[in-house]
Structure 1
Amino acid sequence: MISQRPPTVWIDDSHAIVRRGMAACLQQADFVVRGESAVLSPEPVPDDLDVLVFEYGASSLRRAVRLAEGRPTRLVATVREVTEQSVREMVDAGVSAILPHSTLTADALITSLRSVVAGNVALPGDMLTRLLLHVTQTSHLGPGGLNTRERSVLRLLADGMDTRGIAEDLCFSERTVKNVVHDVLTKLNCRTRAQAVAVATREGVI
């Protein structure tokens, strides 16, 4: 999702100092901070909101997904304690980026949100490893499987490349890459690129 206007973001965290710190960092990077909350109270207004940054919790995840449903709003979760279950739940719910508090820096926050706004995912490598262990679904591939072009795009996604990098590497247009990614997500029954890479890796497709 690339926009000509400054990207808009809502910041949710139980600690006011953390919220203010994230807001200050993002405002310096030309993000427009629409508001802030603790445990999604007050509830964000999702209209024309590009990114909702929320503190992960079982109830907050459900509320964030409900708020973003049917909208282009991207979900970014900050996590105080990273577990295999929490990573699995967030990726299955369609969260585009997961940011552990223990490693969260201004640069990491800004880079991750810019990547998410551009339509990519931001999932640390150790979390991808955790995701690869997620085997709750036995089969995602339909009868047709994935074609050569789709597997090529998936391999580059697994290498951490973004849409522009994949387009340059394969000599495709960025629109073509986005269309291929959309087809892959549909075939694999996945919500995010990270989940698609994990599923394809687990099933030996790439």
Structure 2
Amino acid sequence: MISSRPPTVWIDDSHAIVRRGMAACLQQADFVVRGESAALSPEPAINDLDVLVFEYAGPTLRRAVRLVDTHGTRLVATVREVTEQAVREMVDAGVSAILPHRTLTADTLVTGLRSVVAGNVALPADMLSRLLLHVTQTSHLGPAGLNTRERSVLRLLADGMDTRGIAEDLCFSERTVKNVVHDVLTKLNCRTRAQAVAVATREGVI
């Protein structure tokens, strides 16, 4: 998804003033805001859209997942009430970043979306514990199930590093890092990097 063109984003929120505020922050950070909606109405134009920012709700989450299916658009959810169930549902659905309204600032919004556009996840540290409480249906993979390289990459993911940072730290190419991450997700039966970090931490792999 990394490209020379400015990243494109669609903003969905039930409050117009919140939408306009996020749009202004992102436009100042060189994002192109394609449009806005409330509860995904009007329906976002997904073609060539890098990021869909939407306000979390059960039905909205399901609609957002269906909309971006096969398009490669990344999902970023804003959350008014952070609960274990909400975090579990979003991570399991493949949401790349979760931004609580109580801590949402111009900096956290821009930083979170830039991380997502770079192919990473943006999950607040205090949410990781919620994920560890989630007993997923993933494999119970012990430390021997991942090789040294895979565990090294996982540790750096847990530290919040992006693909480029991991590549520089381990002296790998970015392609190699992406391949390792793919292998880790497959072995742990996870859809997202956030899930993989949570499962690996719970299982004692990292």
Deviation, 1:138, is 5.6
CA distance in 1, matches of 2:104, 2:183: 33
Give 3-state SS (helix, strand or coil) of 1:33's partner: strand
User: Match of 1:30?
Assistant: 30
Instruction: Describe how 1:51-200 pairs up with structure 2 within 5 A.
Output: 51-137=51-137, 139-141=139-141, 145-200=145-200
- Identity among equivalent pairs (%): 89
Instruction: Tell me if structure 1 keeps the 8 A contact 2:10–2:33.
Output: yes
User: Match of 1:46?
Assistant: 46
After TM superposition, the score normalised by the length of structure 1 is: 0.96
Give 3-state SS (helix, strand or coil) of 1:116's partner: helix
Q: Which residue identity is paired with 2:38?
A: A
Aligned-pair RMSD on alpha carbons? 1.3
- The one-character-per-residue Cα deviations of 1:65-123 (angstroms, maximum 9, x if unpaired) are 00111111000000000001100100000000000001100011001000000001000
Q: Which residue identity is paired with 2:45?
A: V
Instruction: Tell me if structure 2 keeps the 8 A contact 1:140–1:189.
Output: no
- The one-character-per-residue Cα deviations of 1:41-84 (angstroms, maximum 9, x if unpaired) are 01111100000000000000000000111111000000000001
Deviation, 1:140, is 5.0
Gaps of 5+ in 1: none
Where in structure 1 do 4 or more consecutive aligned residues deviate above 2 Å?
A: 138-142
CA distance in 1, matches of 2:34, 2:157: 31
Deviation, 1:145, is 2.1
Instruction: Describe how 1:11-26 pairs up with structure 2 within 5 A.
Output: 11-26=11-26
After TM superposition, the score normalised by the length of structure 2 is: 0.96
- The one-character-per-residue Cα deviations of 1:121-144 (angstroms, maximum 9, x if unpaired) are 0000001111111113262549x8
CA distance in 2, matches of 1:134, 1:3: 35
Gaps of 5+ in 2: none
